[in-house]
Structure 1
Amino acid sequence: MKVIFPTVCAALAGLSTLASAQNVTELGFSYSSILYVEPDVMHEEGNLYGIQARFVNYSDIIAAIEVDYAFGYMDYDGSGTIENIPDSLFEARALFGPRLFQSSYSDLHAYVGIGQRYLSDDSSGMRSSTGAYGYSRQQYYWYIPIGINLRQSLGRGVSVSLRAEYDYFLMGRNFSGIDEVCGGDAGDFRQSSGEGFRVSANIAFPIARGGRSMIVEPYYRTWEIDDSETRLLSTPNCNGISAYYYEPHNTSDEAGVALRFVF
């Protein structure tokens, strides 16, 4: 959480700046299905329920703060199976970029920014169907989102927006509580290679006078991260005095839908 705190502070600082520019505020909920896979090792899948906040200023330069939090339960399949593992996912992003095109009915923006993604997966105290012990895991990604957003007015306050984004992976860290099972050292693995993509489409339509409207947004997000560094850790209860460990190549796919209200 010490790593997340500076990102949140930066986001809050950005909000005060945007507020003076009469930004649009979107608040709402999300539901998604997520699949995490370490090929030939394990996979987890489950559903997440979340809240979303968007603070956006549309002008010649787009500026936005996006904050998501979701919570749910995952089912593990690897060294046996474990059901209902608590998971939480937090993401904070700051975006800005120029308008590339504008007409009476549409506008096109490009954007770049900075993002942080934090995932907590905690099977501490659980045992799989084959007797394997679970442990806690925290995952951090830092990345640069690079994207394009097209918004088209359909008249009578209704609009459709399409977004496509590439996420340039800067670095990641995985904290694995293998010491909970093996004793000795906890795992702290650095990742330096990977990439992400995301696409979304939303429709906004008025629900009340005074500019109030609602957005329905289906979305898809994916990550592919390569093997982490390898570290020699003391694991006296599992592999003798010490053993080499790493966070293996993995993919994460999330498909969901959001419902947000515009103020």
Structure 2
Amino acid sequence: MKTIQHNRGIILAVIFTVFLSSPLFAQDKPERCVRFKDGTTIRGTILEMNADVIRIETQSGITVAHPFDSIDYFCDDYIKNSQLPAPEIKRVPKVVLPRHTWEIRPELSYIKYEEPEIMKEDGFMYGIGAAYTYHNKVMARLDGRYSYGKVDYKNSGTLNNIEDYMVELRMIVGYDFPLPSGLSYVTTYFGFGYRYLNDDSSGMVSSTGARGYERESNYYYSPIGVTTYTSLGNGWSYGVTVEYDIFWKGKQKSHLSDVGPGYDDIENDQEYGDGFRASLKIEKQVRYVSFFIEPFFRYWSIKRSDIERDSAGRAWVEPKNKSTEIGLSLAMCF
């Protein structure tokens, strides 16, 4: 018990010392030696230390994060008090994923929607996303994005500058698997997602005289995927994500009443389809924040819907379709 109290006293004393040596009190931060309960010993500059995490920049330039409660003792202070020999320092420290991460993510993308041999729309979307991620062996992430743009319609006629906007919400959970190198993780995950797309050409007329109308697309799906993280040193890292989307249900609402009297609004249910997405993230840690660039690819393929009839007995169907989105995200994490 005396040893535990002694170690806790050393840790509290060092916390006070690190606080006094922070930028508020000094310009230069001395290197510290920290021993963890798993036997890892790291020497470097302490960038951050609080009740949740200790973040250290090692002598080789790698930024390492550990849960605060995994600290065994601070070597320099322990040696001074106990006269024990200095422990061996491992040159390849274990990287720990940050426990709490908030993310703000502007993005630009090109999107193309096609109903084969019938029509297509394409254009650019401008968006903003935000996410919160938790890591502690178990991973949990909440993610949302909104994007807006204008697309051009083409079939036998054309109609340009149709306003589109999209909202997507996702919740995933998974597990982090550290790799033997100590510098990489593989995370598998599964979750639930909702995607809403509004395509509004109401009040517009195509080059052939056809009147436009508002369309609403709803997808309910489950993402299942793998994402990686690898530290490159000097605050740099990269990761790859590959995901398959299980399509549960789709609902398409066509506001045909926008065309004129005698037309009813129609809802078509879609039962079959799937999706795929992939991305490459390159990240740079700068003290307490990080920045990353992430090119991405998102794809959906949806089968033909069921048939619905309006009040006049006319049959309406949503044709099989596919959509492809290619873009780039620029984000800040803290």
TM range (shorter): 0.7 to 0.9
Contact 1:79 1:132 in 2 (8 A): no
Q: Residues of 2 paired with 1:28 and 1:217: CA distance?
A: 10
Determine which of 158, 161, 168 is the counterpart of 2:236. Answer: 158
Matched, 1:253 2:324: yes
Contact 2:217 2:250 in 1 (8 A): yes
Equivalent residue for 1:14?
none
Q: Residues of 2 paired with 1:151 and 1:132: CA distance?
A: 51
Matches within 5 A, 1:133-148: 133-148=211-226
Contact 2:119 2:155 in 1 (8 A): yes
* Structure number with higher relative contact order (C-alpha < 8 Å, ≥ 6 residues apart): 1
Structure 2 portions without partners, runs of 5+? 1-97
**Deviation of residue 79 (structure 1)?**
4.0
Equivalent residue for 2:28?
none
* Larger strand percent: 1
Instruction: Map Cα deviations across residues 115-158 of structure 1 (whole Å, 9 max, x no partner).
Output: 00000000000000000000000000000000001111101111
Matches within 5 A, 1:177-192: 177-182=255-260, 183-192=262-271
Contact 2:99 2:135 in 1 (8 A): no
Worse overlay, 151-160 or 30-39 = 151-160
Q: Which amino acid aligns with 1:250?
A: N
Q: Which amino acid aligns with 2:118?
A: V
SS of 1:129's equivalent in the other structure is coil
Contact 2:106 2:329 in 1 (8 A): yes
Q: Residues of 2 paired with 1:65 and 1:259: CA distance?
A: 18
SS of 2:259's equivalent in the other structure is helix
Q: Residues of 2 paired with 1:83 and 1:250: CA distance?
A: 20
Equivalent residue for 2:290?
213
Matched, 1:204 2:283: yes
Structure 1 portions without partners, runs of 5+? 1-20, 235-240
Q: Residues of 2 paired with 1:56 and 1:79: CA distance?
A: 47
SS of 1:58's equivalent in the other structure is strand
**Deviation of residue 22 (structure 1)?**
5.0
Aligned residues, how many? 235
Instruction: Map Cα deviations across residues 204-261 of structure 1 (whole Å, 9 max, x no partner).
Output: 102x42x211010000000000001101113xxxxxx331001100000000000010
Matched, 1:108 2:179: no
Contact 1:46 1:72 in 2 (8 A): yes
Structure number, greater radius of gyration: 2
**Deviation of residue 23 (structure 1)?**
1.5
**Deviation of residue 100 (structure 1)?**
3.0
Could you tell me the percent identity over the aligned residues?
39
